[in-house]
Amino acid sequence: MAHHQSAKKRIRQDAKKRLHNRYYKKSARTAIRKLRDTEDKAEAEKQLPGLFSMIDRLAKRRLFHPNKAANLKSSLSKHVKSLG
């Protein structure tokens, strides 16, 4: 258990930040799942820019590794192109 005031504050900050990060990572995963489930190509192409923006923001904040973000964007765009 933390004894210093600064350590106690750091624990509080980390808990708050963890919840914040979990929310954004979970919403990104849900959006990715929703795009992959979409059968309509026009709808998927409409969702793609917003999803790319979301992934880029998470990578910028290091919630996703930059390579993971690049791989996700690549696989999602490939998926959208394959839709008939």
Residue 8 maps to a domain: no
Number of domains in the chain: 1
pLDDT tens-digit profile of 24-82?
A: 999 999 999 999 999 999 999 999 999 999 999 999 999 999 999 999 999 999 999 99
The angle at the Cα of 14, spanning 54 to 21, to the nearest 5 degrees, equals 15
Chain-centroid distance, C-alpha 47: 14
Q: Report the distance separating Cα 38 and Cα 52, nearest Å.
A: 16
Pair 76, 58: CB distance under 8 Å: no
What confidence category does residue 1 fall into, taking pLDDT thresholds of 50, 70 and 90?
confident
What confidence category does residue 22 fall into, taking pLDDT thresholds of 50, 70 and 90?
very high
Give the range of the structural domain holding residue 29, as residue numbers without chain letter.
25-82
Cα distances (angstroms) measured from residue 27 to each of 2, 10, 45, 51, 61:
32, 26, 19, 10, 15
Residue 14 maps to a domain: no
Look up the pTM and report it: 0.85
Q: Tokens standing for 17?
A: 């930040």
